[in-house]
Amino acid sequence: MEFFHPLIATAVYRSIPPSVRVAMHGMAAQALVDDGQGAAAAARHLLEMHPDGDPWVVQQLRQAARDSFSAGAPDAARRYLARALREPPDVEDRAEVLFELGSANLLHDPATTINQLRAALEEPKTEQSLREAITYRLAQALAHTGQLADASDLLSEEAKRATSSRTRLRMQAEQFKWNSVRVDEENSPARSRLLAQFAKRITGRGLAERHILGLRAWDAAMRGEPAVTALEYAEQALDGGMSWTDQDFGFEVPASVAVTLMYCDQPGRAEDLFNTGIVEFEAKGWRGAHLSFVYTLLGYVRFRRGRLAEAEDFVRNGLQIADRIGHGTPAQWYAIGTLIETLLARGNTEDAQRVAHTYKLGDGFPQAVVYPDPQAVFGKLLLAQGRVEEAVQHLAAAGKRLDLRGTRNPSWSPWQLDLALAQVAREPELARATAAEAVSRARAFGTSSVIGHALRVAAAATDPAQAAVLLQEAVDHLEQSPAACELAHALVDHGTALHTLGDPHRAAQQLYRGMETAAACGADGLARRARSQLASAGLRPRRLHTFEQDTLTVAENTAAGHAALGLDNTAIAARMNTDAQVVSELLSAVFTKLGTDRLGLRRALGV
């Protein structure tokens, strides 16, 4: 029947006695299914029926939930499954319904998911394959609520029950994943050695094996092994593809591989992977912790590239989603640390302090490995506020904890670099030793961005003449990296050192470049410092140039094409009838715009 006006339809509907109305909903549901319109069309009527233990109703509601997931409507799927559970299902189906409902709730309410999945594991009639799937999903829910030890113990216990070698391998891979982010892991170096042995022995290229290779790439980057090693394993993991929405394997390893590429000076490729993840999530209607993580980490990539305004926008979106999920979750910690880092880079110390105060950052730190490390970020914030002694305490404590885990890469956590800056005023000798160790670790990892960053900080702990030499080397390295904001810092510091040494012409060149680069990055505090230095040198800051960040000029494109073919800067200068410094500046702009270094230039250009 069709009604002329919805008010008439509502009046007629309400006039039907409740018991009759419920029965008519059941008849309508059956009629729709018989007519071939599917379970999703019948589900709205099934929701109005009283629970009666009808297996047909459970079957239709579960099918409607599956259809809703496929159509990108997870909220509807949760309603249908919750109603199916109240029907209730037959004993042999109850574990599966609990599993499906728990999986649907994972995105928005991981705490409820844990209760539902634990209940599913306790069901007496559960097939082994279903039990394994429940275990993986329950471990993920426990990890997302910070219960990493429980997740690891669960996988360890279930691995003992497994009869298949492939299942045990998968359980081991899941343990590697969650143990790698446990603060209380007893022997992190031993786990890393075992993971390295697993990765060497892998001959197949199934999804479980590729996830182990991805974890190996991430572990290599955290521990500060050569970047080429981390990149090699990352490429192997990506060979064959990784889905961000595979509910059996989760999104964590694809995200870790993407971040590994970022640390290895390939942020452009990392962004491509994160954008793929966002598209997959939105296509399925996922709006929970998964999307929060990806928005935050995409913001972190933009922060590392020096696109600070964009980074702040992405991270605030990620934090907004994380706030809805719950306080103290890993997703929230990721967003808080990244937002504070970004605000400090922009020169907004007061805003960063407000974020730290709102989320009580100094009152305690998470029991999960989070990047950027929250305690190190808090130390950096204290340093920016001039609270040097407190900054030293927190940075040293963070460093001790990370060193015990074998996490020695200053690209992953630059706590040593910030500690050296905190030590300069009162303990200059100790600051030089701290910076020297950081430079050594940076050279071992081998990316231009972290070497340049470390050299810039080392320059702050030495005399002006030696500082100028270190800063020139820092600029040379950073011009070969996509780290635009760090390059701006090095240029401004180098210009300041040259001015102190009485070389006003070169000082002006570096300060102008540093000011323009800082302004393009959105590093307003650094741009103001460059302007102040120019004014103190008696130079008028010129009008800032604007440019399209992602579009290569003709000269940049020409230089990039030669570099992709393997020519060095001197040879490129000869081809272009210019000098090597001009080529270096052109390629620096190329690396910044494309989000890569020389190693990834061919791929970025599509050569």
Task: Evaluate the omega torsion of the peptide bond into residue 414 and state whether it is cis, within 30 degrees of 0.
Answer: no
pLDDT greater than 90 at residue 469: yes
Let me know if residue 570 belongs to a domain: yes
Residue by residue, what is the 3-state secondary structure of 33-88?
HHCCCCHHHHHHHHCCCCCCCCHHHHHHHHHHHHHHHHCCCHHHHHHHHHHHHHCC
CATH code of the domain in which 111 resides:
1.25.40
Whether residues 254 and 342 fall in one domain: no
Give mean pLDDT, residues 211-236. 94
Whether residues 330 and 224 fall in one domain: no
Whether residues 29 and 126 fall in one domain: yes
Report the pLDDT value the prediction gives residue 217, as an integer from 0 to 100: 94
Let me know if residue 543 belongs to a domain: no
Label residue 148 by pLDDT band (50, 70, 90).
confident
| End-of-domain residue from the set 234, 252, 286 | 286
Q: Among positive and negative, which fits the CA dihedral 132, 134, 136, 139?
A: negative
Euclidean distance between CA atoms 145 and 122, whole angstroms: 21
| End-of-domain residue from the set 328, 344, 372 | 372
Whether residues 23 and 108 fall in one domain: yes
Q: Are 555 and 586 in contact (CB under 8 A)?
A: yes
Whether residues 29 and 103 fall in one domain: yes
| pLDDT, tens digit (0-9, with 9 covering 90-100), for 304-351 | 999 999 999 999 999 999 898 778 888 899 999 999 999 999 999 999
Whether residues 237 and 186 fall in one domain: yes
Residue 35, phi then psi, degrees to nearest 5 = -80, 0
| End-of-domain residue from the set 244, 260, 286 | 286
Report the pLDDT value the prediction gives residue 548, as an integer from 0 to 100: 46
pLDDT greater than 90 at residue 258: yes
Euclidean distance between CA atoms 374 and 146, whole angstroms: 15
Whether residues 22 and 123 fall in one domain: yes
Whether residues 27 and 104 fall in one domain: yes
Whether residues 68 and 113 fall in one domain: yes
Tokens for 28, please give them: 């309508």
Give mean pLDDT, residues 463-486. 95
In sequence order, what are the residues at sequence separation of 6 or more whose Cβ sits closer than 8 angstroms to the Cβ of residue 21?
Answer: 13, 48
Beta bridge partner(s), residue 368: 182
Euclidean distance between CA atoms 526 and 439, whole angstroms: 23
Give mean pLDDT, residues 268-287. 87
Alpha-carbon 67 to chain mean position: 30
Let me know if residue 260 belongs to a domain: yes
Nearest CA-CA partner of 314 in 305, 327, 301 = 301
Report the pLDDT value the prediction gives residue 371, as an integer from 0 to 100: 87
| pLDDT, tens digit (0-9, with 9 covering 90-100), for 492-524 | 999 999 999 988 889 999 999 999 999 999 999
Let me know if residue 390 belongs to a domain: no
Let me know if residue 251 belongs to a domain: yes
Looking at residue 361, the DSSP 8-state letter turns out to be G
| pLDDT, tens digit (0-9, with 9 covering 90-100), for 394-412 | 999 999 999 988 899 999 9
Query: Alpha helices of 326-463 — where are they, by DSSP H?
Result: 330-346, 349-358, 374-384, 388-404, 415-423, 428-445, 448-460
For residue 598, the enclosing domain spans 548-607
CATH code of the domain in which 572 resides:
1.10.10
Nearest CA-CA partner of 309 in 47, 520, 548, 148 = 520
Label residue 289 by pLDDT band (50, 70, 90).
confident
Report the pLDDT value the prediction gives residue 4, as an integer from 0 to 100: 84
Beta bridge partner(s), residue 182: 368
Looking at residue 545, the DSSP 8-state letter turns out to be P
Whether residues 60 and 28 fall in one domain: yes
Count the domains in the chain: 4
Let me know if residue 414 belongs to a domain: no
pLDDT greater than 70 at residue 542: no
Nearest CA-CA partner of 588 in 527, 531, 523, 516 = 516
Whether residues 112 and 37 fall in one domain: yes
Let me know if residue 415 belongs to a domain: no
In sequence order, what are the residues at sequence separation of 6 or more whose Cβ sits closer than 8 angstroms to the Cβ of residue 75?
Answer: 285
Let me know if residue 438 belongs to a domain: no
Euclidean distance between CA atoms 551 and 142, whole angstroms: 44
Q: Considering the entire predicted model, what is its pTM?
A: 0.84
Q: Are 51 and 86 in contact (CB under 8 A)?
A: yes
Exposed, middle or buried, 570 (CB in 10 Å: 0-12/13-18/19+)?
Answer: exposed
Nearest CA-CA partner of 338 in 291, 386, 290, 373 = 373
Give mean pLDDT, residues 593-601. 86
Whether residues 127 and 205 fall in one domain: no
